[in-house]
Amino acid sequence: DAGVIQSPRHEVTEMGQEVTLRCKPISGHNSLFWYRQTMMRGLELLIYFNNNVPIDDSGMPEDRFSAKMPNASFSTLKIQPSEPRDSAVYFCASSIRGTGANVLTFGAGSRLTVL
Amino acid sequence: QKEVEQNSGPLSVPEGAIASLNCTYSDRGSQSFFWYRQYSGKSPELIMFIYSNGDKEDGRFTAQLNKASQYVSLLIRDSQPSDSATYLCAVTINAGNMLTFGGGTRLMVKP
């Protein structure tokens, strides 16, 4: 298995531009999570999908952020318009929700820099 | 108060020593507890998880859970320079499927 695949790995953009981050979860995993990591705030959960349905988006910082999961093998996180304070590493993670512990497997991350 | 607290470190130990990493959490309903390791510039990777009080061992790693004290720890025996990384404690919140992470403890193992 190729693991969780994220793209792009690096994105540099200017304030006000739209940014779209992409994620392909592990095949067979039915839960998908978007996290953001900064030095100041650590790893923060933004949104969580189960079976392609958004379950909890309380971590999405504001209306500029939106996430979709149109099918079991693809999700996007969009920021529009982007601001310098959005600069961070964005991780996608997937897991199999079921009995027992919910083990997350992370993608390599997308490093976003907003100038 | 943060939901999951860790000392940011750095924690410095000599090679071959035992490294002890600690974590406290605020949600008494938390059921599953995880330790992830993150090398600089890389993504978090799972070391182990625990959900019963007591100890759980996996190779050089031992996770300890005390739900009454809301305390989780990770012991690394025979520490190696390759163990130098940030260790993240994560806890399920609200008895659900979501993980909340602590800020991480940076471990440095000196040869």
What pLDDT was estimated at residue A62?
A: 85
Q: Is B47 on the interface with A (CB under 8 A)?
A: no
| Residues of chain A where predicted confidence (pLDDT) is lower than 50 | none
What pLDDT was estimated at residue A61?
A: 87
Question: What integer best gives the mean pLDDT of chain B?
Answer: 93
Residue with tokens 């860790």: B6
Q: Within 10 Å of residue A73's Cβ, how many Cβ atoms?
A: 15
Q: Quick one: pLDDT band at residue B22, thresholds 50, 70, 90?
A: very high
Residue with tokens 């399920």: B92
Chain B partners within 8 Å of A105 (Cβ): 46
Q: Within 10 Å of residue A104's Cβ, how many Cβ atoms?
A: 26
d(CA A112, CA A29): 26
CA B23 to chain A, closest CA, distance in angstroms equals 15
pLDDT digits 0-9 by tens, B69-99: 999 999 999 999 999 999 999 998 766 678 8
Q: Do B101 and A42 touch (CB under 8 A)?
A: yes
Chain A partners within 8 Å of B44 (Cβ): 43, 91, 106
Partnered with residue A91 across adjacent β-strands are A35
Q: Quick one: pLDDT band at residue B1, thresholds 50, 70, 90?
A: low
Chain A partners within 8 Å of B49 (Cβ): 101, 103
Q: Is A74 on the interface with B (CB under 8 A)?
A: no
First-residue to last-residue Cα distance in chain B: 37
pLDDT digits 0-9 by tens, B32-73: 999 999 999 999 999 999 988 999 999 999 999 999 999 999
Q: Is B45 on the interface with A (CB under 8 A)?
A: yes
